[in-house]
Amino acid sequence: MRGLRKTAPVVIGASVIALTLAACGGSSDSGSGGSGGSDSYVTVNGSEPQSPLIPAQTQETGGGNVIDSMFTGLVTYNQETAAPENAVATAIESTDQQNWTITIRDDWTFQDGTPVTASSFVDAWNWAAYGPNAALNSYFFEPIEGFAEVQGEFDEEGNPVGKPKAKEMTGLKVVSDTEFTVKLSRPNSQFPVMVGYSGFAPMPEVFFEDPEAFGKNPVGNGPFQFESWDPKVSIKLKAWPDYPGAQKPSIAGVDFKIYQDLDAAWADLQAGNLDVLDTIPDSGLAGGQYKSVLGDRVVEQPAGIIQTISFPIYDKKFENVELRKAISMAIDRQTIINNVFNGTREVATGWVSPVVNGYKAGVCGEYCNFDAAKAKEMFDAAGGFDGKLTLAYNADGGHKGWVDATCVSISNALGVECVGKPTADFATFRTEVVNKEMTGMFRTGWQMDYPSIENFLVPLYKTGASANDGDWSNKKFDDLMDEASAKAGQEGIDLFQQGEAVLAEDMPVIPMWYGAVVAGYSDTVSNVQFTPFSRVNLLTIEKS
Amino acid sequence: MGRYTIRRLLQMIPVLIGTTFIIYAMVWALPGDPFSGKCGQRPCPPAYVAEMTAKFNLNDPLPVQYFKYLVNLLQGNFGESFSGRPVWDEIMQAFPVTFRLALIAIIFEIVIGISAGILAALNRGGFWDNLVLISTLIVISIPVFVIGFLAQFTFGIKLGWFPPTVGPNATVYELLLPAFVLASLSLAYVARLMRANLTENLRADYVRTATSKGLSRQRVIGRHAVRNSLIPVVTFIGADFGALLGGAIVTEGIFNIRGIGGLLYLSIRTREGATVVGVVTVLVLVFLLVNLLVDILYGAIDPRIRYE
């Protein structure tokens, strides 16, 4: 559940010179030598992992790319629909959405030959949840019964108080090598979707013997196995020939080349030194340059990302619902997208991304449609606003452009002064947000962890939820979320959608737009697809 | 000379301790704690924050933290980054690359900058003089990232003469283009500085004396005028070398060079105090040594400046 943290590439006008670039880059990585050599690997833009290569410790994209390719969990997600499909699991069943029985395949092994058993999952989850192991992804196990006991207690300053009471969660029980049960502390119909997140990956025995050594030389059970990690230079993975999954990769391996700056990766893609660039930087987007350079070697598709503007509901100035709605209506989203993002985003009409099951267009209704006259009318009826509006953002993330454009749109429509308010960097910005020190609107963004409508609602808007930055609280919404979590299938989805409709009534957060993948690739690779997580699909990509 | 050098070396100790403390205090005073942005939109798990806080002594008062750091440092232990890599490894990976880049840049500055300056001064008011003045003016007025992107696009992508980005080994050939970009601004200054100095010195009494003594023009210019005009230029280049080591962030970013500037920038952003202080310590040390070297060089160029 990581927020958006894109680094800002430097925009530059020097790239307006139109160019038609054929394959003149002197590409040295094709055709040299037989199969298996690292020259035939697909090179993909990557970044330096911020943590050891352990699923429970990895959140950011750099390490996430590697972990995702190396581990296969209970389920994987369908390329087109993002629906979960059994991978290591053969069944994940429950009658009450609270007690789950999971059976797994008996023929799946890790890359070191040891079998993947029920204990591989249970031990891995217990390790991740155990407080002293300090796993970054521990909160994913919070729904499991007994989590609080293994996590331990903390005093007001955040220091641990003694040792946790237990080492293992009471909700996890191994029945046999191929079966285990999970008891959640409250019903959650989305549990089968959740377990596809890489934090839920099974871990081999070598991991528990020495987690630190494992983090530098991981052993997984996924389609690719670890080859080398040259810090800040590249991470190489080779295809695992014995991969038991249904779809095996056709490429020999993958080389994540680490760039500090997207512009450098973009230059390498144009020169034929890089195969896949998952994010084309602003300098390439400017004036649609990427299309003239790459032709049809471009992938554009929606991503599980939403950009929003939050109100500090704890500040009395923003109590009035009509005021919040008026501000939302005063924003001309499409024009901002066209001017700032070269039209590569899609206007948000609700709070849930189009890539997940349960997405409904137009939930926000008229309040997300730009209508200056109506907005002004509502604004005046709501009593206007004393002083000037501010919109805070972190200055290191490339947000200035759209923030300023949004403020101009609001000022023009409502006749109230609105200014962007930069904070030096993301760390400072988030400290202020978490400490509830915001005195005006502020930018928020969400990238899904698993493709479920629940992931776009519960962690963000439920009372006291971990990413509920504005401190919005609504009993009706909370009850609907609880009810929805207890119901399986379409029934549950319907209830989640009713919950989303509550957001439209109360407008605690303004939906702006859905994120999109805008990627490019070289002419030596084909069949390039991107997963719902905006990662290149290494199982389907082909290299000539 | 020997005693002078030893005295200068001893002076470095308080300077080093002072700078590391200032840097440590500054990183410590940065707003926002290191773990507030690490987990994106939600706060990091308390167990993780507690563990990291304990590991990096972040809860101790500043003097205690600094003292612990200094004790480790004196034992040659630079500490670890948040991802668990020794800071010394990080520095040793980045430093040789940056050093090579800065060295090539300095060579560009010396060869092109000084010759352009001499050429301009000897043709004062002529074609070469105007060419040097105008071209340096242009270079000075264009921001370095524009030059960087233009060079990368033109020579790296369009013409394909140089690789557009620098690979893991950072060979001299790969570094030529970024080093030229890096050198361009200082090169312009060097040329102008050299021109101004030489123009002035050519009209000085000692040059007239040398000429009337019957020395050849070549010898007058080469042996007397140029040599004396070099003193401020050497000072500038010496200081510039230090600046190039830590301040090549933009150029390093454009050409994907894994150097000190990028390391420092990233560490500041992620609040990695140990890495920032480690890098700065090494930088200060190098800066001090380069300065000492420059001061000693003065004596070699100008016999009037002798240290004893």
Complex-level ipTM: 0.78
Q: Which residues of A touch B82 (CB under 8 A)?
A: 50-51
A50 close contact with B: CB closer than 8 A: yes
- Nearest CB neighbour to B45, from listed A10, A51, A138: A138
CB contact under 8 A, A267 and B153: yes
Query: What is the DSSP-derived secondary structure letter of residue B111?
Result: I
Mean pLDDT of A449-463: 92
* Interval A242-270: pLDDT, tens: 999 988 999 999 999 988 888 889 999 99
A165 close contact with B: CB closer than 8 A: no
* A197/A185 Cα distance (integer angstroms): 20
A207 and A352 together in one domain: no
CB contact under 8 A, A136 and B45: yes
CB contact under 8 A, B43 and A466: yes
Q: Is residue A383 part of a domain?
A: yes
Q: Which residues of B touch A4 (CB under 8 A)?
A: 40-41
Of A5, A15, A60, give the one whose Cα is nearest residue A398. Answer: A5
* B175/B163 Cα distance (integer angstroms): 9
Place of tokens 């500085």: B193
Lowest mean pLDDT among A14-28, A186-200, B40-54: A14-28
B178 close contact with A: CB closer than 8 A: no
CB contact under 8 A, A434 and B43: yes
Q: Is residue A31 part of a domain?
A: no
CB contact under 8 A, A139 and B85: no
- Nearest CB neighbour to B253, from listed A264, A271, A431: A264
| 3-class state of residue B185 by DSSP | helix
A530 touches A77 (CB < 8 A): no
Q: In the predicted model, what is the mean pLDDT of chain B?
A: 84
Place of tokens 């927020």: A3
- Under the banding of pLDDT at 50, 70 and 90, the label for residue A387 is confident
pLDDT at B224: 83
pLDDT at A67: 94
pLDDT at A427: 80
pLDDT at A30: 35
Of A196, A140, A193, give the one whose Cα is nearest residue A169. Answer: A140
Q: Is residue A268 part of a domain?
A: no
A211 close contact with B: CB closer than 8 A: no
Q: Is residue A24 part of a domain?
A: no
Q: Which residues of B touch A466 (CB under 8 A)?
A: 42-43
Phi, psi of A418 (to 5 degrees): -140, 125
A129 and A61 together in one domain: yes
pLDDT at A218: 95
Q: Which residues of B touch A399 (CB under 8 A)?
A: none
A100 and A225 together in one domain: yes
Identify the residue with better confidence: A187 or B40: A187
B143 close contact with A: CB closer than 8 A: no
Of A367, A358, A345, A340, give the one whose Cα is nearest residue A509. Answer: A367
**Cβ-Cβ contacts under 8 Å for A123 (sequence gap 6 or more):** A203, A208
Mean pLDDT of A428-451: 89
Q: Which residues of B touch A159 (CB under 8 A)?
A: 50, 53, 59
Q: Which residues of A touch B81 (CB under 8 A)?
A: none
* A46/A319 Cα distance (integer angstroms): 43
Q: How far is CA A116 from the centre of its chain?
A: 27
Q: Write out the two tokens for A215.
A: 């983090």
Q: Is residue A240 part of a domain?
A: yes
A290 close contact with B: CB closer than 8 A: no
CB contact under 8 A, A431 and B39: no
Q: Which residues of B touch A17 (CB under 8 A)?
A: 153
Q: Write out the two tokens for A350.
A: 């609700």
Ranges assigned E (strand) in A433-524 = 441-447, 509-521
pLDDT at A39: 65
Q: Which residues of B touch A446 (CB under 8 A)?
A: 41
Q: What are the C-alpha distances in Å from B305 to residues B197, B292, B297?
A: 18, 14, 10
Residues in chain B: 308
- Under the banding of pLDDT at 50, 70 and 90, the label for residue A38 is low
A511 and A526 together in one domain: no
Q: Which residues of B touch A15 (CB under 8 A)?
A: 149, 153
Q: Chain A closest CA to B282's CA: distance in Å?
A: 20
- Nearest CB neighbour to A431, from listed B36, B50, B59: B36
* Interval A391-432: pLDDT, tens: 999 887 788 889 999 999 999 999 999 999 998 888 888 888
* Closest-approach residue (CA) in chain B for A259: B256
Range with the largest mean pLDDT of A80-84, A89-93, B220-224:
A89-93
Neighbours of A343 (CB within 10 A): 14
A367 touches A328 (CB < 8 A): yes
Phi, psi of A394 (to 5 degrees): -90, 130
- Under the banding of pLDDT at 50, 70 and 90, the label for residue B123 is confident
What are the strands of the beta sheet with A172-176, ordered from one edge? A89-93, A99-104, A179-183, A172-176
Q: Is residue A176 part of a domain?
A: yes
Of B200, B192, B88, B68, give the one whose Cα is nearest residue B133. Answer: B192
A218 and A346 together in one domain: no
Mean pLDDT of B159-171: 84
B96 close contact with A: CB closer than 8 A: no
* A192/A9 Cα distance (integer angstroms): 38
A517 touches A3 (CB < 8 A): no
Place of tokens 């959608």: A497
pLDDT at A311 over 90: yes
A107 touches A28 (CB < 8 A): no
pLDDT at A40: 83
Q: Write out the two tokens for B106.
A: 């300095």
Mean pLDDT of A84-98: 93
A27 close contact with B: CB closer than 8 A: no
Q: Which residues of B touch A12 (CB under 8 A)?
A: 145-146, 149
* B88/A135 Cα distance (integer angstroms): 25
pTM of the predicted model as reported, rounded to 2 decimal places: 0.83
Q: Is residue A472 part of a domain?
A: yes
pLDDT at A20: 27
* A439/A389 Cα distance (integer angstroms): 9
A437 and A483 together in one domain: yes
pLDDT at B195 over 50: yes
**Cβ-Cβ contacts under 8 Å for B80 (sequence gap 6 or more):** B86, B87, B274
- What domain range includes position A318? 304-516
A509 and A530 together in one domain: no
> Among B41, B147, B166, which would you mutate to test the A interface (most chain A Cβ atoms within 10 Å of its Cβ)?
B41
Number of compact structural domains in chain A: 2
* Closest-approach residue (CA) in chain B for A63: B83
* Closest-approach residue (CA) in chain A for B52: A134
A75 and A131 together in one domain: yes
Amino acid at A122: V
Q: Which residues of B touch A49 (CB under 8 A)?
A: 83
> Among B256, B257, B258, which would you mutate to test the A interface (most chain A Cβ atoms within 10 Å of its Cβ)?
B256
Q: Is residue A416 part of a domain?
A: yes
Q: What are the C-alpha distances in Å from B279 to residues A322, B74, B285?
A: 53, 15, 10
Q: Chain B closest CA to A161's CA: distance in Å?
A: 10
Of B195, B180, B179, B287, give the one whose Cα is nearest residue B232. Answer: B195
Q: Chain B closest CA to A282's CA: distance in Å?
A: 14
Q: Write out the two tokens for B123.
A: 């043709």
Question: With 0-12 CB in 10 A as exposed, 13-18 as middle and 19+ as buried, what is B143?
Answer: exposed
Lowest mean pLDDT among A32-36, B11-15, B161-165: A32-36
pLDDT at B278 over 50: yes
Give the CATH number, domain containing residue A138. Answer: 3.40.190.10
Q: Which residues of B touch A290 (CB under 8 A)?
A: none
* B112/B184 Cα distance (integer angstroms): 10
Mean pLDDT of A228-238: 90
B299 touches B136 (CB < 8 A): no
- Nearest CB neighbour to B40, from listed A1, A24, A26: A1
pLDDT at A19 over 50: no
A259 close contact with B: CB closer than 8 A: yes
Q: Which residues of A touch B85 (CB under 8 A)?
A: 231
Residues of chain B with pLDDT > 70: what percent? 98
A20 close contact with B: CB closer than 8 A: no
A239 and A314 together in one domain: no
- Under the banding of pLDDT at 50, 70 and 90, the label for residue A286 is confident
A161 and A234 together in one domain: yes
Q: Which residues of B touch A447 (CB under 8 A)?
A: 40
- Nearest CB neighbour to B168, from listed A15, A234, A427: A234
* Closest-approach residue (CA) in chain A for B30: A428
pLDDT at B230: 86
Q: Write out the two tokens for A2.
A: 């990581």
A 295-354 → B contacts, CB under 8 A: none
- Nearest CB neighbour to B165, from listed A132, A212, A268: A268
Ranges assigned E (strand) in A433-534 = 441-447, 509-521, 525-526
A361 and A243 together in one domain: no
B41 close contact with A: CB closer than 8 A: yes
B163 close contact with A: CB closer than 8 A: yes
Q: Which residues of B touch A24 (CB under 8 A)?
A: 160
A447 touches A436 (CB < 8 A): no
Of A478, A3, A239, give the one whose Cα is nearest residue B38. Answer: A3
Give the CATH number, domain containing residue A464. Answer: 3.10.105.10
**Cβ-Cβ contacts under 8 Å for B211 (sequence gap 6 or more):** B217, B220
pLDDT at B305: 67
A235 and A325 together in one domain: no
